[in-house]
Chain A
Amino acid sequence: MSEMLSGGDMLIRALQDEGVEYVFGYPGGAALHIYDAIFRQQKIEHILVRHEQAATHMADGYARATGKTGVVLVTSGPGATNAITGIATAYMDSIPMVVLSGQVATAQIGTDAFQETDMIGVSRPVVKHSFLVKNAADIPLTIKKAFHIASTGRPGPVVVDIPKDTTDPAAAFPYEYPEQIRLRSYNPAVQGNGRQIRLALATLLAADRPIVYAGGGVVLGEGADALTRIARLLNLPVTNTLMGLGSFPGNDPQFVGMLGMHGTYEANMAMHHCDVILAVGARFDDRVTNAPDKFCPQAKVIHIDVDPTSISKIIPAHVPIVGRVANVLDSMEQLLAEEQERAPDKLDRNRIAAWWKTIDGWRAEHGLNHDLKPVAGQPILPQMVIQALYKATKGEAFVASDVGQHQMFAAQYYKFPKPRRWINSGGLGMGFGLPAAMGVVFGHPGATVACVTGEGSFMMNMQELSTCLQYGLPVKIINLNNQALGMVKQWQDMQYGGRHSSSTYSDSLPDFKTLVEAFGHVGIRVDQAEDLEPAMRRVFSDELRNRLVFLDVWVDRHEHVYPMAIKGGAMNEMFLGKTLKTENG
């Protein structure tokens, strides 16, 4: 005999059976039966946020840092619409997430009832899939499907919209959670095509100037270890996308840095001049390719991705391979082992020595300076702050970030040794960093979690400081305060004659130290270069280990992010400084 449970209890039991630890959410009328079911159990902890957008980003940060599916619970109407930005973020960056939204009772749907929004309709373009629960009895199977779809193939957010009557405690149904699920219309590729993998390897081994271009799919597809082994075996230069940072150790000499709009000189030059690109879990985003018709003119493209729509979408692939990154790379490693037996000279690390010499030349010429020294009396450069952070955390922190200049500085200067350490909104926007960092703390209690942000981004979700106090979340917020919307201002400086239209705040910024103190946390302000490193050490000291600390660093207001791709150009066309451009640019 199956146990008899109400819809609300079945929902929570299904989450338990799915192994869910945390639900990030905010209650409201249509979700109250569900909230009552949460109250009457112990296994799942509900984290009360201050705004639903933060709940989605928190679940997202938790998912990125752990690889598990993040879970969100919101009410109908405003709760649901507030969650949209976070759902869209998870969709753009392919993050596994299940969003449960309360809905008005079935009989009221379509009547413009209080707090009624067509959540299925509103969310449709930004979800991997969605379900509207029609009958309470369907709840266990629907939840099983939602988690299956969210976490397999190319991951993404799944919305389950739950009308209030289906969670009514007055009606009980036999509960059984399905062990397995098969959907006839959903069978994501796992193994790659063997012949294609062979062809890819032959192409790679024949290359004179190969490069590995690894994206977020390597992190999500658990392929980082295999990728690192293959790249090291063959002595391949590796570049990462913004989303892929950490999929190859950032402190490895074979790592040439991030590529793209603010990629390193050597990464972009190596891409432009290479003859074979091994693209893994990357999607040739416009922030990478610049002008697609000028992209890497001599390159043959091998493209491994779990999502066939990513292949040949922007740049045609010569050797397309559809499959889960880890599985495809494992097959590739097996073939490499056979090759090593048969023809070890093909795998000679010195075969591409000339190519490395060229790359090292580019690196020496215009590579990033990872050893900037703060000088007393001089302005603090934002890059120095990231270096100080890297030093103080020994490169071992989880670093969440928002969007803007601070994000690019963090991506360029923090050398991530492992995947899932860089928690960053690649496809969407500001306001992500703090809540995402909070999600990381839930996923990895006791770990060092920093949030590199700017005033603009931080103020978009700073209400969550209150949530941090409630749950004791010791996030270290590193605020690169340039008193402006830095990236907007940079574009205005470079492309709009320095007209700063709505990118500064006219001295209206709050005193952040006082602000975070009002929320019960620790605030530190630094505006002198000589104070930077000691202050950073204090942030990460044992004394403040269990406290949220906000380090407000007043940085040089005029610093820009370089290199910067020249609009409409090829990958080798970059601004390298305010007056310096690449020769062909």
Chain B
Amino acid sequence: MRRILAVLLENEAGALSRVVGLFAQRNYNIESLTVAPTEDETLSRLTLTTSGDDSKIEQITKHLHRLIEVVKVLDLTGTDHVERELMLVKIRAEGTARDEIKRTSDIFRGQIIDITANSFTVQLTGPSDKLDAFVRAIGKNLILELARTGVSGISRGDKVLSL
């Protein structure tokens, strides 16, 4: 089962490598990983998607806690939350296909942020499955290049993950 873990860690050199190293070392899988400093510049927030049953996720959570630089860990999957991912995709757009791509992009609430005579670059945000659906709708043949940020997530309501 896919899980989203939110991790607050000290914003220090080498901290990220310990998290990534832990996953490699313990044979855990990382499907996506996104990391950036928070409003408190001494902390980074990392969102990580992985998979496993409850006992595996429990072990992963405990091992993350064991890293000295990890301050907090939250399994977002277990709580009411929102998740978003951002995708930039460069699409071959020539002749009559240009209109069709524009329409498809509109349906998915994408924004065209760059154009050339032969291509569109579309920016799209949403849950990962929406991004997947857009990629399918356009078709792999037309996609020239694709960059996704990986999932970022936050819990709903007043609950906060902070110190």
Contacts and interface: CB of A to CB of B under 8 A. Distances in A.
Interface stretch (B10-18, B115-123, B132-140): B10-18
Contact of A132 (B13, B25, B58, B68): B13
Given A132-B13, A184-B163, A125 B59 contact: no
Chain B at the A interface: mostly helix, strand, loop or mixed?
A: helix
B-side interface size class: 20 to 34
A37 B93 CA distance: 69
B71 A185 contact: yes
Given A312-B55, A313-B59, A185 B68 contact: yes
A124 B62 contact: no
Contact of B17 (A121, A308, A309): A121
Nearest to B14: A120
Nearest to A310: B62
Contacts of A309: 59, 62-63, 66
A128 interface: yes
Contacts of B59: 309, 313
Interface in B52-91: 55, 58-59, 62-63, 65-66, 68-71
Given A121-B17, A186-B68, 19 more contacts: A124-B17, A124-B21, A125-B21, A128-B68, A129-B68, A132-B14, A149-B68, A183-B68, A184-B71, A184-B163, A185-B9, A185-B68, A185-B70, A185-B71, A308-B65, A309-B59, A309-B62, A312-B55, A313-B59
Interface string A291-322: 00000000000000001110011001000000
Contacts of A312: 55, 58
A545 B58 CA distance: 54
Contacts of B65: 308
Contacts of B25: 125
Contacts of A120: 14
Given A184-B163, A185-B10, A313-B59, A124 B71 contact: no
Contacts of B17: 121, 124
Contacts of A130: 14
What is the interface residue range for chain A against chain B? Answer: 10 to 19
Nearest to B60: A309
B55 to A, nearest CB: 7
Most buried by B among A186, A307, A316: A186
A124 B18 contact: yes
Given A124-B21, A125-B21, A132-B13, A308 B62 contact: yes
A209 B67 CA distance: 38
Nearest to A185: B71
A96 to B, nearest CB: 15
Interface in B1-49: 9-10, 13-14, 17-18, 21, 25
Interface centre among A120, A129, A185 (most CB of B within 10 A): A185
Given A184-B71, A184-B163, A312-B58, A307 B14 contact: no
A209 to B, nearest CB: 27
A366 B13 CA distance: 57
A125 to B, nearest CB: 5
Contacts of A186: 68
Contacts of A183: 68
A185 B59 CA distance: 18
Nearest to B163: A184
Contact of B66 (A121, A184, A307): A307
A518 to B, nearest CB: 43
Interface of B: 9-10, 13-14, 17-18, 21, 25, 55, 58-59, 62-63, 65-66, 68-71, 163
Contacts of A124: 17-18, 21
B9 to A, nearest CB: 7
A309 B68 CA distance: 14
A183 B68 CA distance: 9
Nearest to A149: B68
A130 B69 CA distance: 10
B75 to A, nearest CB: 15
Contacts of B58: 312
Contacts of A129: 68
B62 A185 contact: no
Nearest to A126: B25
A47 to B, nearest CB: 29
Contacts of A316: 55
Interface in A175-233: 183-186
B151 to A, nearest CB: 24
Contacts of A121: 17
B64 to A, nearest CB: 10
A128 B18 CA distance: 11
Nearest to B70: A185
A444 B15 CA distance: 39
A120 B17 CA distance: 10
Contacts of B63: 309
A185 B163 CA distance: 9
A323 B88 CA distance: 48
| Listed residue (B25, B55, B62) with the most chain A CB atoms within 10 angstroms of its CB | B62
17 contacts: A120-B14, A124-B17, A124-B21, A149-B68, A183-B68, A184-B71, A184-B163, A185-B10, A185-B68, A185-B69, A185-B71, A307-B66, A308-B62, A308-B65, A309-B62, A312-B58, A316-B55
Nearest to B63: A309
Contacts of A307: 66
A309 B62 CA distance: 5
A184 B17 CA distance: 20
| 6 A-B pairs with least C-beta separation | A185-B71, A129-B68, A309-B62, A308-B62, A125-B25, A186-B68
A313 B58 CA distance: 9
Nearest to A121: B17
Nearest to B15: A185
Contacts of B18: 124
Contacts of B66: 307-309
Contacts of B69: 185
A316 B10 CA distance: 32
B68 to A, nearest CB: 4
Contacts of B163: 184
Contacts of B14: 120, 130, 132
A236 B134 CA distance: 65
A389 B17 CA distance: 48
Contacts of A313: 59
Nearest to B8: A185
B35 to A, nearest CB: 16
Among the interface residues B17, B66, B69, B70, which one has the most CB atoms of the partner chain A within 10 A?
Answer: B66
Interface string A115-154: 0000011001100111010000000000000000100000
A114 B9 CA distance: 34
